[in-house]
Amino acid sequence: MKITLAINGIEQSVEVAARDNLLTVLRSLGYHSVKFGDEHGLTGADTVLLDGRPVNAGVMLAAQAEGHKIATAEALGMHPDQGWKKTEGLHPLQKAFIETGAIQCGYCTPAQILAAKALLNKNPHPSEAEVRAAISGVLCRCTGYVKPVQAVLRGAAEMRGETMDDGQRMMGEGQRTTDDGRQMTDDSDLWSVDGGQTATRVLPKLVVAPETSPYHTVGQPEPKVDAVKLAQGKPAFAADLEMRGMLYAKVLHSPHAHARIKRIDARAARALPGVAAVLTYKDIPRVPYSTAGQSHPIPGPLDCFSLDDKVRFVGDRVAFVAAETPEIAEKALGLIEVEYEVLPAVLDMREAMKPGAPVIHDEPDYVNFADSDPSRNLAAEIRIDIGDVEKGFAEADHIFEAEYEVPKVQQAHIEPHVVVTYWDEDDRLVIRTSTQVPFHVRRMMAPVLGLPVKRIRVIKPRIGGGFGGKQEVLIEDVAAHLTIATGRPVIYEYTREEEFIAARSRHPMRIRMKTGVKVDGTITANEMYALSDTGANGAHALTVTGNTGHKAMALYVGDGQYRQSPNIRFYADIVYTNHPPSGAYRGYGVPQGFWAVERHMEKIARALNLDPIEFRLKNALRAGELHPFSTAWSEGREPRPETIETNALEECVRQGKAAMGWDQKFGNEAWRAAQTAVGGRQSAVRKGIGVALVMQGTAIPYLDMGGASIKMNDDGSFNLLIGATDLGTGSDTVLAQMAAEVLGVPVEDIIVYSSDTDFTPFDVGAYASSTTYVSGAAVVRAAELVAERIKKRAAKMLDQSDYQTIRLSGRRAIAPDGRAVTLQEIALHSLHMEDQEQIMAVGSYYSPVAPPPFAAQFAEVTVDAETGQVTVDKLVMAVDSGVIVNPITASGQIEGGMTQALGYAVCEEMTFDEQGRARERDFHRYHIFRADEMPELETIFVETFEPSHPFGVKAVAEIPMDGVAPAVANAVRDAVGVDIDDNPVTPEKIWRALRQLERG
Amino acid sequence: MITAYHRPESLEEALRLLARPVPETIPLGGGTSLARVKSDDFEVVDLQALGLGQITVRGNFLEMGAMVRLQTLVESEAISDALRRAIRHEAPLNLRNMATVAGTLVAADGRSPFAAVMLALDAQLTLVGGQPPALSDVAEPALNSAEGSAVSLGELLLLREDLLPGALITHITIPLNVSLAYEYIARTPADLPIVCAAVAGWPSGRTRVVLGGYGASPLLAMDGPTPDGAQIAARDAYSEAGDEIASAGYRSEMAAVLVRRCLER
């Protein structure tokens, strides 16, 4: 049918099918700012304005939109400088989103901006609550909504004609002040709009390390280097590529938790017009591999096959289809005849290793790793003893034992997994994929596809969030097999349901703690046993659960003699079940561990009538001490001793307590009960406050390697090519800042490109909190080599005998006597004039250490003791992440991480029925936090200067996941006196615990 | 899969399209529930050109066209704060801008806050077209008349599969002289309710108590001449309302608590 759509003021006649939704049609017309997030409109990534109101294009038929005015982000604004053509530039909202750091992955940004624009068109003076309501239809998994709200308020002010000076636009050095001998940044008066919870603060509080004082670019809130394109909704993501003859892939998923395929007949599907290929296990090579995107050799069993004659979870792969349209592909799936022999399933991790349990991996070509034993459904086993644990228990005055449980949860990145594959003109297979690990994809896919590594090129475009979910080489093989089968480009994009049933998720665990403590609070021995459910495959089985102990059990070493020689035991069994496979998820096993450890510490402190914070700090790991696990375990590789060089945990506690008003609230019964009653009755509502101390790691020592190359251009600008993968974290920006700092140029002179396995140096990718630290050090090395070449040439041009006296600053090379040449002059000299050479260098780095960041995380809650309903009112995180390269991007990481962790605390949970079928398959049932229901979030950075890094950095990305859930549960304990040991902390659990408490 | 799209400009044309035995044809409001339709091939009749988007106050009643968007209702000054709160709880802003009042009620399950409060208000729907229901005591008989017939929301929710094929809801009417309270328990402020209660009180003392959070539709726990016994009725009504989200024991106790709180308001 032919319809006319009025898009951005232009009427377009379009031929559509009745079934076509507006999202599909807009994207086919080139409006790529409108994104797919889910089928129900709940992510809001598909937002357009229809007659001025935000609506979801993905749940509206294109035909419904005829006769209405459609607006997309493409019409808002553009780069102001288009060569000889100047434009009006970006819309004030786009500028505000860039300036405030509201853009992280950028996938939801056009939608948020449109929703905000609709608000401001009607209400130029919105309150913070009104802004939150206006953008509540657009889910963001990266930001925690703090900065988008700030952006809208800022944009509103700008649109009202209010002006800001340059210092206000982007927080700079001028705002740093001195307090108690420390340099502080706290711009609480910088941009006050209405006094709401987020509107008054653009930057986080920052306790600055003195070593950073000479820096010009490192430490500054530079706007993200990719923000301008993301604010415009440019076609920067994997699915935004359109190719002639593109086929659409779909996968037939198993309806059974455990079954053997007795018969599969794809003839009818293949005969359907428009179907280009149907692949079953009979059609492709059988190659065992692991989907875990990790370095060679993979530290886990090889127990995956692209297609197999056995299915091991509901959602497992049965067949692949490629067709001319998604609808034909979907129809073809229904024509594939499959006869299953249903097998008994393991749906409870506690049953997995029992004698007689069904064996999930009975295939003969299973490849073991370490202690994996498929005959017992054992994917991995860990046995770590540090010191003499039994002696420690014997010396204790009290032994505390308890069991804890954590659920399976989903990364829920708004951009689903998506990949495009095609043969290039050289018959090399190009894989354009939304991945955190492009180089691992290339290496790991090669044997699966029967291609040498050199005939595969992996391109990582912008990534719409990953959080570990895209550390999996999850769907690249599907599209690639179909491209090989058909010779045509293939796109495969997960539906939201597939994300829930056929992607990876956080390992659920049952954790048993046993702790010996003396009466004065000294921990004498600490033991954890973790039973971990890896699901149907063992990817990340060893390493995720290893980190559960390696990080969470490392924090409390004991005091006195025990501090010198801690007694720690960490045992784990990671078992196969017929649930969807677990995998990497931000935090990588550590949030599970800290749920148990921090709940346990709280209970011990209260049982012994000790101050919970003093008890923790008394036993916590300190600078100068050996990381207790460093000699015991290193992700399946040889462990080497590592000393903690920096640890500002005590200052984090001090800062966090002040931000929370801890001393006024903790133990204050009047504060706890100070709630107004409804209807004159005594109120059942009580307040509570809780804390959790946490640590993480920074990269994997002696393993994670990042590379960078820097090339000087004619105008003195530089191409920075990195294999590192910015999945919305801002790593491209902070790496550019480091290069700019070394080269003495503004960040805008660093042109960042990441990543393409053909062009950029190797990098392991974005995981293990490694990018700023490892890839950053590689960038610094490359920049230093380039700087040396520049200085040598400048010395020659300036007749300066010692090039080492030259310094680079302000786009110039400056001699000690003040004479200078510009970098442009040096570039022209080197490229065109004398002793011509390309000034260029490659740097790479791997680290012998993994310096842990430390943090104190606080929560304030309100609990309705009559119903058990808990409302989280405030979260504070004071974190020692070393030097903060960019306080805006770093605080965005913290805010977003806290928000994800808040979901882990109170609402996120993947559950399965008795047949192993996922109950949560969309964002109706799997709720993630919206802008209009967020607690107040506050981030405080307490800088230390980590000596192992040239700019003193440690990691920031994962640690916010670790402490929110136990802090919330500890706050609930503070409010109403009950302990919830299995998260999430839900109303019925609290209500039942309260009833139990009443009964005694 | 949708095989044809129609946008009739008259009610008669819409009813004619819907009355065809084949192909299966369903009315299209906002479209927000369309993804849940699992039929193989079907056609849709878009109701947006039928002039059913008006909100009118008639004496003590508010009459809303079936195509009134949820957000339009939120922005109406005629509705109570409790109704506004429930609609906001129903869906985020974008979906409220699309979802229609009738479509939301037709697609509602037990966790729909909007359906719960509308059921408490004893919303009356004007239904045109379709076949008379099998049960004779459900609605007025003149289902095929041009004016349509009044069907209560309670009846519609019970008999959706019988009443709706070939039929159209044109208007929904709620009383304005009724006090309304809405309370819920959820994991987060914007999450779907685990259990919710809506209580409507008429000047006469008539009190309707509706529970939500469970099952295929909200449940009328009590419709009495006074509020007396409301808590007991609520507790009893949800005494077996257990599922994977919450136990029956919890929902039952909470139903009583929430109803009490509604009455205290």
* Contact between residue A121 and residue A152 where contact means Cβ atoms under 8 Å apart: no
Q: Cα dist. A226→A15, A232, A728 in Å?
A: 35, 11, 9
Q: Cα dist. B90→B106, B191, B213 in Å?
A: 14, 9, 12
- Say which CATH architecture domain A705-846 belongs to: 2-Layer Sandwich (3.30)
Say what percent of chain A tops pLDDT 70: 95
Residue B251 lies in a domain: yes
CA dihedral A155, A159, A165, A170 (to 10 degrees): 20
Rounded to a whole number, what is the distance in Å from the CA of B100 to chain A's nearest CA? Answer: 13
pLDDT tens per residue across span A952-990: 999 999 999 999 999 999 999 999 999 999 999 999 999
Which residue in chain A has the smallest CA separation from B256? Answer: A867
pLDDT tens per residue across span A35-54: 999 999 999 999 999 999 99
Element (H or E) spanning A34, and its range? none
Q: Does A134 sit within 8 Å of B185, measured CB to CB?
A: no
Amino acid at A229: K
Q: Please state, in angstroms and rounded to a whole number, the distance separating the CA atoms of residues A864 and B194.
A: 15
The 3-state DSSP class for residue B247 equals: coil
pLDDT surpassing 50 at residue A182: no
**B144 and B79 together in one domain:** yes
Interface test with A, best of B95, B187, B243, B259 (most A CBs within 10 A): B187
The 3-state DSSP class for residue A746 equals: coil
Q: Does B34 sit within 8 Å of A59, measured CB to CB?
A: yes
pLDDT tens per residue across span A738-762: 999 999 999 999 999 999 999 999 9
Which residue in chain B has the smallest CA separation from A911? Answer: B244
Average pLDDT over residues A240-262: 97
Q: What is the mean pLDDT of chain A?
A: 94
Q: Which residue range forms the structural domain that includes residue B262? A: 178-265
Q: Please state, in angstroms and rounded to a whole number, the distance separating the CA atoms of residues A584 and A124.
A: 43
**B182 and B151 together in one domain:** no
Residues of A in contact with B97 (CB under 8 A): 50, 53-55, 137
pLDDT at A196: 55
pLDDT surpassing 80 at residue A170: no
**CA A133 to centroid of chain Cα atoms:** 25
pLDDT surpassing 80 at residue A877: yes
Average pLDDT over residues A317-336: 97
Average pLDDT over residues A20-44: 97
Residue B14 lies in a domain: no
R_g (Cα) of chain A, nearest Å: 28
**B192 and B161 together in one domain:** no
Domain boundary assignment for chain A: 2-37+45-71, 81-211+222-232, 238-343+411-502, 647-674+685-696+851-909+925-1000, 705-846
- Say which CATH architecture domain A81-211+222-232 belongs to: Orthogonal Bundle (1.10)
Which pLDDT band, with edges at 50, 70 and 90, does A194 fall under? very low
Residues of B in contact with A873 (CB under 8 A): none
**B54 and B171 together in one domain:** yes
Which pLDDT band, with edges at 50, 70 and 90, does B265 fall under? confident
- The residue with greater pLDDT, B67 or A176, is B67
pLDDT surpassing 90 at residue A442: yes
Q: What's the CATH code of the domain at B253? A: 3.30.390.50
Highest mean pLDDT among A37-51, A211-225, B141-155: A37-51
Average pLDDT over residues A828-844: 97
Residue B207 lies in a domain: yes
pLDDT at A201: 58
CATH of A238-343+411-502, one of 3.90.1170.50, 3.40.50.300, 3.40.50.800, 1.10.10.1110: 3.90.1170.50
Q: What's the CATH code of the domain at B132? A: 3.30.465.10
**B53 and B158 together in one domain:** yes
* Domain stop point among B153, B177, B201: B177
* Contact between residue A455 and residue A462 where contact means Cβ atoms under 8 Å apart: no
Q: Cα dist. B21→A213, A558, B24 in Å?
A: 79, 77, 7
pLDDT surpassing 70 at residue A193: no
Q: What are phi and psi of A251, to 5 degrees?
A: -125, 135
Which residue in chain A has the smallest CA separation from B71? Answer: A53
pLDDT at A213: 83
Amino acid at A636: G
Q: Does A992 sit within 8 Å of B250, measured CB to CB?
A: yes
Amino acid at A98: I
Q: Cα dist. A526→A464, A567, A580, A634, A894 in Å?
A: 40, 6, 32, 20, 29
Which residue in chain B has the smallest CA separation from A62? Answer: B5
Could you please state the CATH topology (level 3) that the domain comprising A647-674+685-696+851-909+925-1000 is classified under.
Aldehyde Oxidoreductase; domain 4 (3.30.365)
pLDDT at B34: 80
* Contact between residue B221 and residue B200 where contact means Cβ atoms under 8 Å apart: no
Burial (CB < 10 A; 0-12, 13-18, 19+), residue A924, is: middle
Which pLDDT band, with edges at 50, 70 and 90, does A168 fall under? low
Average pLDDT over residues A115-129: 97
Q: Report the 10 Å Cβ neighbour count for A238.
A: 24
Residue B92 lies in a domain: yes
Nearest to B190 among A18, A59, A932 (CB): A932
pLDDT surpassing 70 at residue A179: no
* Contact between residue B39 and residue B24 where contact means Cβ atoms under 8 Å apart: yes
pLDDT surpassing 50 at residue A422: yes
pLDDT surpassing 90 at residue A666: yes
Confirm whether A2-37+45-71 and A705-846 share one CATH topology: no
Average pLDDT over residues A195-212: 74
Q: Please state, in angstroms and rounded to a whole number, the distance separating the CA atoms of residues B171 and B125.
A: 6
Nearest to B1 among A47, A327, A866 (CB): A327
pLDDT at A777: 96
Q: CB-side exposure of B74: number of CA atoms within 13 Å?
A: 21
pLDDT at B163: 86
pLDDT tens per residue across span B212-256: 999 999 999 999 999 999 999 999 999 999 999 999 999 999 999
pLDDT at A980: 98
Q: Does B187 sit within 8 Å of A906, measured CB to CB?
A: yes
Which pLDDT band, with edges at 50, 70 and 90, does A633 fall under? confident
Residue B20 lies in a domain: no
**B201 and B242 together in one domain:** yes
Q: Does B94 sit within 8 Å of A137, measured CB to CB?
A: yes
pLDDT at B132: 57
pLDDT at A674: 75
Closest by CA position to A369, among listed A466, A476, A294, A297: A297
pLDDT at A212: 86
The 3-state DSSP class for residue A510 equals: strand
**B244 and B212 together in one domain:** yes
**B91 and B144 together in one domain:** yes
Q: Please state, in angstroms and rounded to a whole number, the distance separating the CA atoms of residues A98 and A748.
A: 14
Closest by CA position to A895, among listed A850, A928, A939, A829: A939
Residues of B in contact with A992 (CB under 8 A): 250
Residue A187 CB contacts under 8 Å (≥ 6 apart), including other chains: A171, A175, A201, A202, A203
The pTM score is 0.96
Which has the minimum average pLDDT: A185-189, A483-487, A703-707? A185-189
Q: Please state, in angstroms and rounded to a whole number, the distance separating the CA atoms of residues A69 and A86.
A: 27
Q: Report the 10 Å Cβ neighbour count for A197.
A: 18
Which pLDDT band, with edges at 50, 70 and 90, does A175 fall under? very low
Residue B63 lies in a domain: yes
pLDDT at A191: 32
Residues of B in contact with A984 (CB under 8 A): 187
Q: Report the 10 Å Cβ neighbour count for A486.
A: 15
pLDDT at B37: 74
pLDDT at A680: 52
Which residue in chain B has the smallest CA separation from A923? Answer: B191
Q: Does B264 sit within 8 Å of A678, measured CB to CB?
A: yes
pLDDT surpassing 60 at residue A932: yes
**B93 and B106 together in one domain:** yes
* Domain stop point among B144, B160, B177: B177
Say what percent of chain A tops pLDDT 90: 91
Average pLDDT over residues B113-125: 98
Size of interface A-B (CB pairs under 8 A): 133
- Complex ipTM, two decimals? 0.95
pLDDT surpassing 80 at residue A339: yes
The 3-state DSSP class for residue A764 equals: coil
A890: left (phi over 0), alpha (psi -120 to 50) or beta: alpha
Residue B2 lies in a domain: no
Assigned superfamily of A2-37+45-71: Beta-grasp domain (3.10.20.30)
pLDDT at A453: 98
First to last CA, chain B: 47
Q: Does A19 sit within 8 Å of B185, measured CB to CB?
A: no
Domain count, chain B: 2
Residue B240 lies in a domain: yes
